[in-house]
Amino acid sequence: MNAKEIEQIKQWEREHVIYPWKKQGWYEPIVIERAEGIHMFGADGKRYVDFCSGLLNVNIGHHNRHVLDAMQAQMEKLCHIASSFATEPRAKLAKMISEVTPGDLDYVFFTNAGAEANENAIKAVRWFTGRQKIYSNWRGYHGATAACSTLTGDPRRIPCEPGIPGVGKFFGPYCYRCPFGYKDNKTCGIQCLETLKTQIMLEGPKTIAGIFMEPIVGTNGIIIPPVEFMQGVRQICDEHGILLVMDEVMAGFGRSGKWFGCEHFGVVPDIITAAKGITSGYVQLGVMIWNKKVWDFFREHPFVGGLTYYGHALACATGVANLEVYHQENLIEKSRINGEHLEKKLWELYEKHPSIGDVRCKGLWACLELVADRKTREPLAGYGDCKQNVMGEFTKRILDLGLWAFAKWDYIFLAPPLIITPAQIDESISILDKALEYPDSLLKK
Ligand SMILES: Cc1ncc(COP(=O)(O)O)c(C=O)c1O
């Protein structure tokens, strides 16, 4: 595109586009024209490494020929039909999902996105149990719809309050900053579990319908809980007839080096919600997946839910082709193996950059947590940017250097497409190395 065409796009954006998550009127995004593999290309021809897979969803990389061909073939046959009819892609995708989910999580309800999957899971746990209350993690995110904002613990919840009634919060184990001050991970996990048990006892266990949690916390800093905590939560749910809902919207479909994040802990939830990697973002799709116990209940009771685009044929065909790519290219295993390489390279950066306080990585899913002081772990930007906006400037600098990595508060997220090679990881790490000079420069001398 020439400079005039690019300016025209920017002008229409300025004049007519409402931006999500931002104050309006000051933001000027880069115009992207196309993307291929791990790269995106600006309208001005500049190449960027997409080291965050879009918003951690383009797991198979951009412009995958197998998926594009499948989409085109489906479009020639049928894009959409009323959800009361069956289609081959919908049936096939549900079957393929049931083959990769743990335990008896074999029953699939289709949605348009992750938040809508969680909205439906809220209904499902309430109707199944006949109870109203839901618990979720303070350091958790579950989507931007009204109910999901209530389940969210982080500051994105606050402007949406008061939210839906009946939602309580617990402290999940954030071992780098243990909410109870413990230094070792195992004790942090055990203390969080004991506190949750006490909360539930005081709340009245028979009033709680569901516990919603991410298996590994995503946008609140890739927080990996100790296995004792996760298994303990499963036990609490079993003891009191509470349904365990694992929000795998970000973790699911290979991001963490397994099909689903809960597999790292040997925990099988009652319901999984997922989206993002199910189609790698080629079109929108989400799912709520039930185990047999939940399915059996709804054989006798109607599930009152489902939007116009439920089980959208084009979206499901995209999902089928996308899952085929995971299998054909062995991407789940690649995420695990290349994730180990990524983690090693990030610890090398830790040795060089004093602004890095912690490195957390599982599969091709990593976070650098920045600090003002490694010893005291004083945050650099602060939770919700309460001290200073470091990441706005960091993002600008890293994009100038040709790399996209989502960054907010004290967290830099690194989650490239699962097709990335070790050599491409190394190339991106050297860009990151340069960009980290900026937060280093903010440290007190
Ligand atoms: C864990 C988690 N749950 C839910 C959502 C919301 O998904 P969506 O934006 O597709 O509605 C997200 C999005 O990032 C997420 O990370």
pLDDT of res. 323 = 98
Give the separation between CA 256 and CA 137, rounded to whole angstroms.
20
Output the six-digit token pair for 162.
Answer: 């008061």
Does this model's pTM top 0.75? My answer is yes
Q: Is the dihedral of CA 307, 308, 309, 312 positive or negative?
A: positive
The 10 Å Cβ neighbour count of residue 116 is 26
Q: Are 206 and 257 in contact (CB under 8 A)?
A: no
Q: Which residue's CA is the closest to the ligand 1 atom numbered 13? A: 143
pLDDT at 389: 84
| Minimal-distance CA residue to ligand 1 atom 3 | 142
Between CA 274 and CA 296 the distance in angstroms is: 21
In the block, tokens 């959409």 appear at 80
248 lines ligand 1 (CB under 6 A): no
Decide: 143 in ligand 1 pocket, CB within 6 A.
Answer: yes
CB of 416 shorter than 6 A to ligand 1: no
Distances (CA, A) of 38 to 58, 141, 416, 420: 9, 26, 7, 7
Atom of ligand 1 at shortest distance to CA of 113? 10
Which pLDDT belongs to residue 445?
62
Domain ranges, ordered by start, for the chain? 31-60+330-441, 66-328
> Mutation test of ligand 1: which of 250, 260, 288 has the most ligand atoms closer than 8 Å to its C-beta?
250
Tell how far the Cα of 101 is from the centroid of ligand 1, in angstroms: 19
- CB distance 413 to ligand 1 below 6 Å: no
CB of 219 within 6 A of ligand 1: the answer is yes
Cα gap 39→47, rounded to integer Å = 7
Task: Supply the pLDDT for residue 105.
Answer: 98
State if residue 214 touches ligand 1 by the CB under 6 angstroms criterion: yes
CATH architecture of 66-328: 3-Layer(aba) Sandwich (3.40)
Q: How buried is residue 98: exposed, middle or buried, by Cβ count under 10 Å (0-12/13-18/19+)?
A: middle
Averaged pLDDT, groups of 10, the chain, 445 residues long: 95 94 87 98 98 98 98 98 98 98 98 98 98 98 98 95 97 97 96 98 98 98 98 98 98 98 98 98 98 97 97 98 98 98 98 98 98 96 83 95 96 98 98 98 84
- From residue 189, alpha-carbon distances to 181, 224, 235, 248, 433 in Å are 11, 10, 14, 20, 32
User: Residue 288 Cα, ligand 1 centroid: separation in angstroms?
Assistant: 13
**Diameter of the chain measured on Cα atoms:** 67
State if residue 218 touches ligand 1 by the CB under 6 angstroms criterion.
Answer: yes
Report whether residue 264 contacts ligand 1, using a CB cutoff of 6 Å.
no
Work out which ligand 1 atom sits closest to the CA atom of 143. 6
Q: Which of 55, 139, 141 to mutate for ligand 1's pocket (most ligand atoms within 8 Å of CB)?
A: 141
Residues 6+ apart with CB under 8 A from 192: 170, 171, 172, 173, 179, 180, 225, 229
CATH numeric code, 31-60+330-441: 3.90.1150.10
Q: Are strands 356-361 and 366-373 parallel, antiparallel or unpaired?
A: antiparallel
Q: Which residues have C-beta within 8 Å of that of residue 395, sequence separation ≥ 6?
A: 405, 407
